[in-house]
């Protein structure tokens, strides 16, 4: 089976490619700036129609669209770029998928919701409070399957970026204090778990909307405490803060936690609870360190 992954160098895209290669798929990893670690590399820019012509040459049966402009504040400040990449870019990928008869899985976001209530189900009405969430919501209408994760994290940097978990571990190991908000609630999602669920959905060609987050609702602050405990770091360096104190350009939902009961019912690959996810994360980081040494 041939699978094409946009955002192949990203935190999620690289993990999908890694697992797909283990399953002996033909893996093609699209990228714009940073070269992917796994798969056959295909350079493309979502903002350019001509770049997408490379997809026709490989004729994938599956396309998993993970690429996006995900910096929430940047999307708010540069709405034109956000729309071109997240909406028009998704539309272009969908048009290619349709012409090829490829099954298209789109990775959306918990930020399509306002955050007024939390534990959102797939049929709850989206109402984004920021432009990033708005563009991700508009992209949903073009795709066969819509997957919504929440705060993705993993065992190593990707596309030149460090995810929340690695950033926190590094700060605490260096004995630096960090301010983490107590009043924002999430269902953090390990990239390994998400990648496995996405591949199952793609293999089975399951259509519709799926919330593919972690199975544990927690505040950002409590999530940080759990990370500190798992990695035996000093939790006293984690300073409780409030969202109103943050110097954010864009508004964020206060509670964008996702209900994953549909995924639990339909998928063999179940969402991880936080205990299991952090245990897997620790094992992956230890294995990576051994391989480097």
Q: Which domains are present in the chain?
A: 2-292 (3.40.50.720)
- Residue 137: enclosing H or E segment and its boundaries? helix 131-140
pLDDT score of 54? 84
pLDDT score of 47? 78
Which is it for strands 185-186 and 218-219: parallel, antiparallel or unpaired? antiparallel
Which of helix, strand or coil describes residue 35?
A: coil
pLDDT score of 178? 97
pLDDT digit string (tens) for the chain, length 293 residues: 999 999 999 999 999 999 999 999 999 999 988 899 999 999 988 877 677 888 998 999 999 999 999 999 999 999 999 999 999 999 999 999 999 999 999 999 999 999 999 999 999 999 999 999 999 999 999 999 999 999 999 998 887 788 999 999 999 999 999 999 999 999 999 999 999 999 999 999 999 999 999 999 999 999 999 999 999 999 999 999 999 998 898 999 999 999 999 999 999 999 999 999 999 999 999 987 777 76
Q: Is residue 47 a contact partner of residue 88, using CB atoms and an 8 Å limit?
A: yes
Q: How far apart are CA 123 and CA 70, in angstroms?
A: 24
Q: How far apart are CA 278 and CA 288, in angstroms?
A: 15
pLDDT score of 290? 78
Which of helix, strand or coil describes residue 6?
A: strand
Nearest partner of 287 among 155, 152, 153, 154, judged by Cα: 155
pLDDT score of 161? 81
Nearest partner of 198 among 11, 32, 72, judged by Cα: 11
Q: How far apart are CA 248 and CA 162, in angstroms?
A: 18
């Amino acid at each position: 089976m041939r699978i094409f992954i946009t955002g192949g160098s990203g935190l999620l895209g690289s993990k999908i490619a890694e697992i797909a290669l283990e399953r002996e798929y033909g893996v093609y990893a699209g990228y714009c700036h940073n070269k992917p670690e796994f798969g056959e590399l295909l350079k493309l820019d979502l903002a350019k129609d001509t770049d997408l012509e490379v997809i026709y040459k490989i004729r994938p049966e599956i396309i998993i669209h993970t690429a996006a402009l995900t910096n929430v504040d940047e999307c708010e400040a540069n709405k034109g770029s956000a729309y071109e990449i997240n909406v028009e870019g998704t539309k272009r990928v969908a048009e290619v998928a349709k012409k090829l008869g490829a099954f298209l899985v789109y990775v959306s976001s918990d930020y399509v919701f306002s955050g007024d209530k939390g534990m959102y189900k797939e049929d709850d009405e989206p109402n984004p409070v920021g432009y990033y969430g708005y563009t991700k919501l508009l992209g949903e209408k073009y795709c066969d399957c819509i997957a919504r994760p929440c705060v993705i994290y993993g065992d190593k940097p990707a596309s030149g970026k460090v995810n929340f978990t690695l950033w926190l571990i590094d700060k605490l190991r260096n004995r630096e204090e960090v301010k983490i908000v107590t009043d924002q609630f999430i269902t953090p999602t390990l990239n390994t778990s998400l990648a496995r669920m996405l591949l199952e959905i793609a293999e089975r060609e399951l259509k519709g909307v799926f919330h593919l987050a972690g199975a544990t609702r927690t505040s950002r602050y409590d999530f940080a405490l759990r990370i500190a405990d798992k990695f035996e770091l000093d939790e006293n360096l984690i300073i409780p803060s409030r969202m109103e104190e943050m110097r954010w350009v864009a508004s964020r939902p206060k509670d964008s936690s996702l209900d994953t009961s549909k995924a639990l019912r339909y998928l063999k690959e179940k969402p991880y609870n936080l205990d299991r996810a952090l245990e897997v994360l620790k094992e992956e980081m230890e294995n990576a360190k051994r391989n480097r040494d």
